[in-house]
Amino acid sequence: MKDLLLTYRGRINRAKIWMALLYYIGIGVAVGVLFMILAQLLPGDVDEDGLPTFGAKSLPMIVLGLAYLVFSVWSGICVGIKRFHDRDKSGWWLLIQLVPVIGLIWYFVEVFCLKGTTGANRFGPDPRSEEHTSE
């Protein structure tokens, strides 16, 4: 899992990026549950508008939220780069997502739907051939 989510070198196929998406969903649910538990353990006051205020008691929630944010951004970049590598494209193609509307569609199709290059390319060996030889 560490090699899949936290390094940007090499290539991954479509199955692995869908598996990474499932990891992200599971981790997101776990962090959400931890937030709910912390909110119950660290009750705050209510301000004049009826909104909860946590003050210094919210520090564990802030730390957890920032850690999750840093992990998610770094991991998403790493997984996207490896997937573009499988398509024999530079990791800089991640920036296509910054193009309004079309960029996100392009990214989804390129990364989640299209097959990677067959055989080795400039970014490494074919991940599918590695799976078949290790069995």
Under 8 Å between Cβ of 116 and 13: yes
Kindly report the pTM of this predicted structure.
0.80
| 64-105 pLDDT per residue, tens | 999 999 999 999 999 999 999 999 999 999 999 999 999 999
Cα 122 to Cα 115: distance, rounded to the nearest angstrom: 16
- pLDDT higher than threshold 70 for residue 52: no
| 3-30 pLDDT per residue, tens | 778 788 889 999 999 999 999 999 999 9
